Amino acid sequence: MEKKIGVGIVGASPLNPGWGIAAHIPAIQALPTYYELKAVSTSRIESAKAAEKEFGVPAYDNHIDLINNQDVDLVVVAIKLPNHYEVVSAAINAGKMVYCEWPLGKGLEQSLELARQAKLANVRTVIGVQARFNPVIKYVRDLIRDGYIGKLLGTSLVGSGMAWGDVTNLSNAYTLDNSNGVNMLSIPVMHTLDALTYMLGDFKDVSAESAVRQSKALVKETGETITKTAPDQVAILGTLESGTIMTAHYQGGVARGENLRWTFRGSEGELVLNAGSGQVQLADNLKVYGATGEETELQELSIPEKYYASSSQLPEGVANNVGQMYLQFAKDLQDDTHLTPDFEHAIQNHELLDVIEKATIAGEKQTVK
């Protein structure tokens, strides 16, 4: 590229490291041909000073100064969901490109408004649904499309939320309050359903149930017991446009065995994905097992090297899939394509999330538009 993309990250405190530090900064640093970190912001002057020392770039204790930095072309919003709307809207109004972590807004209405603002301002956007960039997810998608298991009959998965159990840490305690919108359905389930629609196509209809089965949670750092209103059980039954039946059951907390088991059964064979993490967007240890034709036992499948071609320059772990999103976005800007999930894509997911929520309230099947 003729000019590197200057990146400013909102939410990058070394004193309280979060997703910005764990995933975004390593990904950006691994792609120096395309990107350069230009600024970071935190919520306090102490953490801003620590960030400036840590990363060697200007650091602010507010997002407005970061957005107004002329060297920042792309504003990355890696903060808690309740604050997304204010920061994303400000970045759009300044004419900056925006990479926002999923969910886009707190509910469908906020998200629609942010997508509308971005469209009117004609700014490029990215929504952080990185599971579809995992090489294993891409490989399974191709196996199914190439007929490895014949006609896909059904798919089912059981997953752990990893959070939303009976123990939490202080920084994630707010996710147990359902009014904040950061719950097991909106995070691990929707990240997984984004990967599902990438592999198998869109939904036709859904039914769903949710429940709070453990109403109290212990905060590890303080020993305090807090009330949990966010569901720790979410079950979905859906029909895809292809006619394929899918089921998903997510449970709060961490399982003692597999935290993700995802089965794809076809007329000629079967595929199984599993991982140590129930959150597909975070899993860097996905494994796939398959059997086809006359084979009667599942065997672990080796992922062809071509699926890792774009990963070789990226760090292992959670920064890898995020880095692949950055790489695709840079190519989109270079080639004037739109292959990176953007705010319009986010709206599709938010509309699906809204339908699932309505299905849990109504207790009956809902049509997906």
pLDDT at position 1 is 58
Give the domain range for residue 23: 5-131+319-341
| Residue 274 bridge partners (DSSP) | 261, 287
Query: Does some domain include residue 176?
Result: yes
Q: Are residues 115 and 9 in the same domain?
A: yes
Report the CATH number at residue 78: 3.40.50.720
Please give the chain's pLDDT, 369 residues, in tens. Answer: 578 999 999 999 999 999 999 999 999 999 999 999 999 999 999 999 999 999 999 999 999 999 999 999 999 999 999 999 999 999 999 999 999 999 999 999 999 999 999 999 999 999 999 999 999 999 999 999 999 999 999 999 999 999 999 999 999 999 999 999 999 999 999 999 999 999 999 999 999 999 999 999 999 999 999 999 999 999 999 999 999 999 999 999 999 989 999 999 999 999 999 999 999 999 878 999 999 999 999 999 999 999 998 877 899 999 999 999 999 999 999 999 999 999 999 999 999 999 999 999 999 999 998
175 phi/psi in degrees, rounded to 5: -70, -15
Strand pairing report for 225-227 and 216-219: antiparallel
Query: Does some domain include residue 309?
Result: no
Query: Does some domain include residue 356?
Result: yes
| Sheet order of strands, 216-219 included | 167-168, 216-219, 225-227
Q: Are residues 11 and 41 in the same domain?
A: yes
pLDDT at position 202 is 98
Report the CATH number at residue 248: 3.30.360.10
pLDDT at position 310 is 83
> Which residue is listed with tokens 């009117």?
120
| Sheet order of strands, 269-275 included | 299-300, 287-292, 269-275, 260-266, 152-160, 245-251, 233-240, 203-211, 366-367
pLDDT at position 369 is 87
pLDDT at position 309 is 86
Q: Are residues 124 and 136 in the same domain?
A: no
pTM: 0.96
* Both structure tokens of 93: 């109004």
Q: Are residues 195 and 234 in the same domain?
A: yes
Our count of domains for the chain comes to 2
Q: Are residues 146 and 249 in the same domain?
A: yes
Q: Are residues 113 and 141 in the same domain?
A: no
Q: Are residues 83 and 188 in the same domain?
A: no
Query: Does some domain include residue 310?
Result: no
Judge whether 249 and 272 are in contact, CB under 8 Å: no
Give the integer Cα–Cα distance in Å for 4 and 37: 10
